[in-house]
Amino acid sequence: MINRKVVQKALKQTWALDGNTACDLYRPEDSQSSVTSRLIYDVFGGEILKTREKKGWHFYNRINGERVDFTGSETNKLSANYRFEDIPSAPDETYYYFAQEDYSTFYMRFIRAFEEAVGLEKYRPGYTA
């Protein structure tokens, strides 16, 4: 099972380091759902899902039967009127929204931040960052 707090912390660190427009820290629900859902899929598996919104598609994940949305706005999550459509999406569909080079950088930064948050020494005794 995913530790959401650890993943969210690593994502925030990654967004803060990223200077391109595809990874806008201040409005991740608008610009990051595609890149973030692809990252979560590549790292943790599961499925990529999407829901129609006024500005276009909103992407998120389902892992072990549980919806996981790291870029949904808190307003949407708390609103009784917000409905996830859970439309299946192919991982390749997310590539229409960001450059592959940007994704590679984003991915590596996330892995580094995640390892720091989790504590890599738990997995590699004697390892020092």
The pLDDT tens digits for 106-116 are 999 999 999 88
3-state helix, strand, coil in the chain (%, to 5): 50, 15, 30
More confident residue, 78 or 14: 14
**Residue among 82, 87, 99, 27 at smallest CA distance from 61:** 87
Runs of H (alpha helix) within 49-94? 74-78
How far apart, in Å, do the first and last CA atoms of the chain sit? Answer: 25
pTM confidence score: 0.78
Q: Could you tell me the pLDDT band of residue 19, with boundaries at 50, 70 and 90?
A: low
For the segment 60-83, the average pLDDT, to the nearest whole number, is 77
For the segment 92-120, the average pLDDT, to the nearest whole number, is 87
Distance CA 80, CA 7 (A): 26
C-alpha R_g of the chain: 15
- Predicted local distance difference test score (pLDDT) of residue 77: 55
pLDDT digits (tens, 9 = 90+) for 27-57: 444 468 999 999 999 999 999 999 998 888 9
Angstrom distances, CA of residue 53 to CA of 25, 27, 73, 76, 86: 20, 15, 12, 11, 12
Distance CA 120, CA 101 (A): 26
Q: Identify whether the C-beta of residue 35 lies closer than 8 Å to the C-beta of residue 81.
A: no
Q: Is the pLDDT of residue 22 over 50?
A: no
